[in-house]
């Protein structure tokens, strides 16, 4: 049986965010073979992150989503990696259903009434292979769409697995602080320069 590493990228600024991260981690415990928490430079060290993870990696500063997830992936030792942002949690299903040669996404419920179902990278599984690392030119926005586009260009499918269901709680961010609109436009331009078209739904 193939084994699973889970990478949770965490950035806690206050007790509410800490509780959200804790919920995320608790939903994964006992359901993966290796639980890695990458602390993306939180101002405070939370002891439970150290005690409840198999590997705790603390970064000196918030390096953003892309670099943080890549750090976690490089520390993973098992066949498949489930990449998890800390504002999500597993509701039901066997994570092994997500593990094959493709990129697999769970079904998702959310409290964001404006959300339109799409392929996104808040929670997904991929083989443990450097091919699936994110392009570090991106901060956060569209890095998942870039990865999925690269996969599909190489004959790897991006598929949704309805037997696994997650909740995406509050659309909190683990990116570096700063002007989000500037970062958004910068990442959109990087995507266009790389692929010759804008991400789906963008102009």
pTM for this prediction: 0.89
Distance CA 152, CA 137 (A): 20
DSSP string, 62-82: ---HHHHHHHHHHH--SSEEE
Residue 134 lies in a domain: yes
Residue 202 lies in a domain: no
Residue 156 lies in a domain: yes
Distance CA 143, CA 119 (A): 12
Residue 200 lies in a domain: no
Residue 97 lies in a domain: yes
Question: Which tokens hold the place of 173?
Answer: 């961010």
Distance CA 122, CA 131 (A): 18
Burial 77-92 (b: 16+ CB within 10 A, else e): ebebbbbbbbbbbbee
Name residues whose C-beta falls within 8 Å of residue 33's C-beta, 6 or more positions apart in sequence: 3, 4, 5, 78
What does the pLDDT read at residue 22? 86
For 37, the domain range is 4-195
Residue 152 lies in a domain: yes
What does the pLDDT read at residue 116? 65
HSE value, Cβ hemisphere, 13 Å, CA-based, for 162: 0
Domain count, the chain: 1
Residue 31 lies in a domain: yes
What does the pLDDT read at residue 115? 66
Q: What is the pLDDT of residues 6-46, one digit of tens each?
A: 999 988 766 666 778 888 999 999 999 999 999 988 888 87
Residue 201 lies in a domain: no
Written as tens digits, the pLDDT of the chain (203 aa) is 789 999 999 887 666 667 788 889 999 999 999 999 999 888 888 788 888 899 999 999 888 889 999 999 999 999 999 999 888 999 999 999 999 999 999 999 887 766 666 777 889 999 999 999 999 999 888 999 999 999 999 999 999 999 999 998 755 544 445 567 888 899 999 999 999 999 887 87
Residue 37 belongs to a domain with what CATH number?
Answer: 3.90.550.10
Instruction: Return the H-helix or E-strand segment holding 48.
Output: helix 47-51
């Amino acid at each position: 049986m193939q084994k699973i590493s889970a990478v949770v990228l965490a950035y806690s600024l206050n007790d509410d965010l800490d509780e959200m991260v804790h919920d995320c981690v608790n939903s994964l415990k006992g359901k993966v073979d290796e639980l890695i928490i990458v602390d993306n430079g939180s101002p405070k060290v939370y002891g439970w992150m150290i005690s409840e993870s198999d590997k705790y990696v603390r970064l000196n500063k918030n390096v953003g989503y892309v670099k943080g997830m890549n750090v976690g992936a490089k520390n993973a030792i098992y066949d498949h990696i489930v990449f998890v942002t800390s504002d999500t949690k597993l509701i039901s299903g066997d994570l092994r259903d997500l593990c094959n040669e493709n990129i697999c996404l769970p079904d998702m419920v959310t409290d964001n009434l404006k959300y339109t179902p799409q392929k996104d990278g808040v929670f997904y599984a991929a083989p443990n292979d450097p091919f699936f690392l994110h392009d570090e030119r991106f901060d956060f926005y569209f890095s998942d769409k870039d990865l999925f586009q690269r996969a599909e260009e190489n004959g790897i499918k991006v598929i949704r697995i309805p037997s696994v269901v997650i909740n995406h709680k509050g659309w909190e961010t683990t990116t570096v602080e700063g002007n989000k609109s500037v970062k958004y436009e910068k990442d959109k331009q990087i995507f266009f320069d790389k692929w010759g078209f804008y991400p789906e739904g963008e102009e």
